[in-house]
């Protein structure tokens, strides 16, 4: 699957997107990313994940061919 | 039938010729009241276009003064006006552009005790502020008052915008459905810490003005239940579908927020 990063997560990880070989729930993906990227773990906890351009709940089952977008809030005006 | 002056017929000719606007729509705009909170990077273009469009009353909230560091993006202001209140500078620019517009200025920081009174008379509210505590306060106040809110924000080369139409509370999600509470201080760059390409405010502020005009005229499909995310480096625009969250602390089935809450500001606020 393709994981897309935005705003401060993009900035901290220094990447816009990556390919991941993953099947499981959104919650499990979140745990995996928290372990892989401890520098954004607190932020990942606060952000809802969007799958194929739609926000989903944590128990959403990912098959592995989705596009997952992780979009933290921004506050600039 | 509304009596346009000859000057107005010329001024709004390109609107009136649009079947979606027409004379009736232009009359609606002239009778509309829009509140813009923050006369900065987002507020500048949105206020400018709302004024050009002939929105009859524009309320502008900002407590700050014009600074040199604003001029890279805040196009309502100019070099001569450094040091004067932004709301006054905004008023001068709008009055030069369109004498049909009545500008009401609020040279004050919006907070829990004044927000309800400020927003109560307006048809649509635009959020162009630069900090999370105020964004949550505006969302909550608009929800309680049933006011449609056009909320935009930006960082570096990215922008986000959504419309929360609280005239239809049953169906419209709110800002908290997306982000239940402000991120802990320090986790997300705030205020002056992060850079912003000036023209990003132009793009996002113009989308805000467009959404506000659509709401006022009742045309098209506003960004209700959708977050539009723009990445200017790749120039990708993504619309992400957003559902009302039954567990939302404000608009969910068992709300825990029943009155305005004020979160602490973590740094000086400058729109």
Residues in chain A with CB shorter than 8 Å from the CB of B243 are 55
Q: What digits encode the pLDDT tens for the residues B134-175?
A: 999 999 999 999 999 999 999 999 999 999 999 999 999 999
The pLDDT, as a whole number, for residue B157 is 96
Query: Taking the CA of residue B213 as centre, how many other CA atoms within 13 Å lie in the half-sphere pointing to its CB?
Result: 24
Within-domain flag for A61: yes
B135 in A contact zone (CB under 8 Å): yes
Residues in chain B with CB shorter than 8 Å from the CB of A76 are 41, 130, 153-155, 194, 196
Q: Is the pLDDT of residue B1 over 90?
A: no
Q: Do A50 and B231 touch (CB under 8 A)?
A: no
What number is the ipTM of this complex? 0.94
Per the rule left: phi > 0, alpha: psi between -120 and 50, beta: everything else, B258 is alpha
The pLDDT, as a whole number, for residue B265 is 72
B132 in A contact zone (CB under 8 Å): yes
Taking CA atoms, B207 is separated from B109, B173, B213, in Å, by: 25, 19, 10
The pLDDT, as a whole number, for residue B185 is 77
Q: Is the pLDDT of residue B190 over 70?
A: no
Within-domain flag for A37: yes
Residues in chain B with CB shorter than 8 Å from the CB of A50 are 240-241
Q: What digits encode the pLDDT tens for the residues A33-61?
A: 999 999 999 999 989 999 999 999 999 99
Within-domain flag for A34: yes
> Mean pLDDT throughout A24-37?
97
The CATH number for A7's domain is 3.10.20.30
Residue in B with minimal Cα distance to A77: B130
Domain that holds residue A18: 2-71
The pLDDT, as a whole number, for residue B189 is 73
What are A61's two structure tokens?
A: 């089952």
The pLDDT, as a whole number, for residue B267 is 57
Report how far residue B50's alpha carbon sits from residue B58's, in angstroms, rounded to the nearest whole number.
8
A/B interface, count of CB pairs below 8 Å: 94
Residue in A with minimal Cα distance to B247: A57
**Lookup result for tokens 């000719």:** B13
- How many domains does chain A contain in total? 1
Within-domain flag for A17: yes
**CA neighbor of B196 nearest in space, from B239, B148, B152, B159:** B159
pTM, two decimal places: 0.96
């Amino acid at each position: 699957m393709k994981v897309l990063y935005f705003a401060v997560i993009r900035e901290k990880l220094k990447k816009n997107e990556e390919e991941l070989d993953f099947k499981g729930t959104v919650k499990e993906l979140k745990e995996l990313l928290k372990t892989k990227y401890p520098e954004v773990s607190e932020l990942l906890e606060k952000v809802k994940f969007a799958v194929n351009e739609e926000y989903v709940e944590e128990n959403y089952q990912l098959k592995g061919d989705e596009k997952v977008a992780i979009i933290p809030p921004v506050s600039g005006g | 039938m509304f009596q346009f002056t000859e000057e107005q017929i010329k001024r709004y000719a390109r609107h009136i010729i649009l079947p979606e606007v027409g004379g009736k729509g232009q009359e609606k705009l002239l009778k509309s009241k829009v509140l813009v909170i923050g006369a900065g990077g987002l507020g500048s273009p949105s206020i400018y276009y709302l004024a050009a469009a002939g929105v009859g009353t524009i309320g502008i909230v900002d407590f700050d003064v014009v600074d040199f560091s604003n001029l890279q993006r805040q196009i309502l202001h100019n070099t001569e006006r450094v040091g004067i209140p932004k709301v006054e500078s905004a008023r001068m620019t709008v009055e030069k552009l369109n004498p049909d517009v009545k500008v009401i200025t609020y040279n004050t920081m919006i907070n829990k005790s004044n927000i309800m009174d400020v927003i109560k008379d307006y048809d649509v509210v635009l959020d162009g502020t630069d900090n999370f505590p105020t964004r949550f306060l505006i969302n909550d106040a608009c929800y309680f008052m049933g006011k449609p809110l056009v909320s935009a924000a930006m960082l570096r080369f990215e922008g986000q915008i959504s419309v929360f139409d609280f005239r239809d509370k049953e169906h419209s999600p709110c800002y908290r459905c997306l982000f239940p509470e402000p991120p802990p201080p320090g986790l997300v760059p705030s205020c002056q810490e992060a850079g912003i390409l000036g023209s990003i405010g132009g793009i996002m502020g113009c989308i805000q003005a467009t959404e506000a005009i659509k709401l006022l005229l009742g045309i098209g499909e506003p960004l209700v239940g959708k977050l539009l995310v723009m990445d200017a480096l790749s120039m990708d625009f993504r619309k992400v579908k957003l559902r009302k969250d039954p567990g939302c602390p404000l608009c969910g089935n068992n709300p825990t927020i029943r009155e305005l809450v004020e979160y602490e500001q973590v740094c000086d606020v400058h729109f």
